[in-house]
Amino acid sequence: MGTTMKTKKTVKKSGLFSIFTQGDIFSKLSFIIMGISNIARKQIVKGLIYLAIEVGYIFYMVRSGFSNILEMRTLGTSGQGMVFDEAQGIYVISQGDNSMLILLYGVATIVLTAVFFVIWAFSVRAGEEARQLKLNNKKVPNFIDEVKALFDYNIHKLILAVPLLGIITFTVTPLIYMILIAFTNYDAEHQPPGNLFTWVGLANFKNLLSASGKLSSTFWPVLGWTFIWGFVATFSCYFGGMFLAMLINSKGIGGKKVWRTFFVTTMAIPSFITLLVVGTMLGKNGILNVLLLNWGFVSEPLPFLTNGLWAKITVIVVNIWIGVPVTMLMVTGILMNIPAELYESAKIDGAGPFMAFRKITFPYMWFITTPYLITNLIGNFNNFGVIYFLTGGNPTSINYYKGAGKTDLLVTWLYKLTNDTKDYNLASAIGIIIFIISAAFSLIMYTRSGALKNEEGFQ
């Protein structure tokens, strides 16, 4: 292996342009005929693989790729309908174009093309590498050496191949497709295969963000509630969990593990179960109302999930119930890391427990957990589960666009738009807005946290 490592280092990386100007005829040819430079240096198998990829790609593009991309301009022209068939002399149903499939195939072709160009760049570089090795009278690695290298200095290619393929197929392609949908009119009235949809530019965003209209009068309240929810849910759980952790950790509490286990149990239960159960408990005839009536606390059932304000408070309280143990568990570990001398000297200086919290515990905690808090905040903006399983976004409001409710977050509204009303264009536009919000908060975290920048810090 020692020799291959050395050869790896002697080859200098050069840009594609300088490869073209400085390379020999095979290097230049390899820009058009992939792998030819490798074949010329006796790397037959490698060269042939590159060549096969190129042939396959061109074959695909000629057969359907080009037309896929061209059709994307209009997303289909002929709708479904009756067409007169002259040969048979009758009207027959013409399937027409399916805008959805046209867009999906188009995106897939574009992604495929991008992947192909990455491989193409790799092949040109590989050819150049082989040429330089030959030029310097070094051993040109044969195919078996190359495979061995995949387990050594090329291990990133081996390990990342499958995950990247997965991400490109099932995350990137669908994502590009959905982002493009935000600029079309793919709504309830334009459902393929019966109907066509087409590009509309920024119209969806204009409708959502404008000052008037049903859509924007839904969007702004939902956005506002998303923010209120995000902040209240994050900080209530944060401080609640901190309080609980400090309580269990405080001097003189016996059986710390037992207490902790009580609370951890509630977080270990899959959240959908607790949410479903709590949801059934809070209904008009749910056990909580029954008990409150039996105990004489109220004389009528409380509208936990059916009144807008009540429902908002309910989801926040239930979220505290779910989230506090999680923070408790995390904070416990951090609390133990705070140097005990700090507390001792504070005590000597006459600081009470509250002062010690304000001046020692909290600043320490705040400093360490800021990235966690921001991640959590973003997570809560997108906290689908709590809202969906508890209220389903309800109670609905007649002032809101189709089916959106008082407790809907942007993300649950997005789900309703995709799943119930099939307004994919609006759903996609909202998705992009959610992305912008998440990205903005992530940017804050990125600038505040050293973890990403100083990744070598610990080594």
Partner 1 sequence: MRERTVLGLNLKYSRTAIIAAILAFVTLFIPYARVESDSYTAVSLMTKLLSTGEGLGRFVMVIMVLGNILGCIMAVVNLIKPTKVGYRVWVVFSSVALAAYAVLLFVTKAAVDGKGIFTARFLVKYFSFGFWCGLIFTLFALWYVLKTAKINPGYVVLVVLTIIWLFPISWILLTSFREEGGFYVGYFIPHNFTLDNYLNLFKSTSVIPFARWWINTFVVAACLCVFNTLIILGTSYVLSRTRFAGRHNLMKGMMIIGMFPGFMSMVAVYNILKGIGINRNLGALILVGVAGAAMGYYICKGFFDTIPKSMDEAAIIDGATRWQIFVKITIPLAKPIVIYTALTSFLGTWSDYIFPSMLLGDKQSSYTVAIGLKWLTDFQRIDSYYTQFAAGAVMVAVPIVILFIALQRFYVEGLSGSVKG
Q: 406, 312 in Cβ contact below 8 A?
A: yes
Q: Which stretch binds partner 1 (CB under 8 A): 35-43, 138-146, 247-255, 303-311?
A: 247-255
Q: Does residue number 329 form part of the binding site for partner 1 (CB under 8 A)?
A: yes
**Residue at token pair 């387990």:** 151
**ω into 395 cis (within 30 of 0):** yes
Q: Which stretch binds partner 1 (CB under 8 A): 47-55, 194-202, 217-225, 330-338?
A: 330-338
Residues 204-233 that bind partner 1 (CB under 8 A): none
Q: Does residue number 100 form part of the binding site for partner 1 (CB under 8 A)?
A: yes
Residues 86, 300, 341, 455: which binds partner 1 (CB under 8 A)?
455
Q: Does residue number 384 form part of the binding site for partner 1 (CB under 8 A)?
A: yes
CA atoms of 54 and 43, how far apart (whole Å): 17
Residues 16, 55, 155, 309: which binds partner 1 (CB under 8 A)?
155
Q: Of 82 and 114, which CB lies nearer to partner 1 in the complex structure? A: 114
Pick the closest to residue 322 from 283, 276, 367 (CA basis): 276
Instruction: Please name every residue paired with 199 in a beta bridge, in sequence order, or none if there are none.
Output: 184
Shortest distance, CB of residue 311 to partner 1, whole angstroms?
Answer: 17
Shortest distance, CB of residue 213 to partner 1, whole angstroms?
Answer: 23
Q: Which stretch binds partner 1 (CB under 8 A): 55-63, 64-72, 250-258, 393-401?
A: 250-258
Pick the closest to residue 400 from 383, 412, 413, 390 (CA basis): 413
Residues 67, 195, 198, 438: which binds partner 1 (CB under 8 A)?
438
Q: Which stretch binds partner 1 (CB under 8 A): 23-31, 224-232, 285-293, 301-309?
A: 285-293
Would you call 167 helix, strand, or coil by DSSP?
Answer: helix
Q: Does residue number 112 form part of the binding site for partner 1 (CB under 8 A)?
A: no
Burial of 80-111, coded b for 16+ CB within 10 Å and e otherwise, reads beeeeeeeeeeeeeeebbbbbebbbbbbbbbb
Residues 277, 309, 313, 355: which binds partner 1 (CB under 8 A)?
277
Residues 408-427 that bind partner 1 (CB under 8 A): 411, 414-415, 418-419, 424, 427
Q: Does residue number 274 form part of the binding site for partner 1 (CB under 8 A)?
A: yes
- Give the tokens for residue 216: 């924007």
Q: Does residue number 12 form part of the binding site for partner 1 (CB under 8 A)?
A: no
Q: Does residue number 442 form part of the binding site for partner 1 (CB under 8 A)?
A: yes
Q: Does residue number 170 form part of the binding site for partner 1 (CB under 8 A)?
A: yes
Inter-residue long-range contacts of 242-249, CB under 8 Å, 24+ positions, other chains counted: 242/327, 242/328, 242/331, 242/361, 242/365, 244/324, 244/325, 244/327, 244/328, 245/327, 245/328, 245/329, 245/331, 245/332, 245/335, 246/331, 246/335, 246/357, 246/361, 248/328, 248/332, 249/332, 249/335, 249/336
Shortest distance, CB of residue 143 to partner 1, whole angstroms?
Answer: 17
Q: Which helix (H) or strand (E) holds 402?
A: none
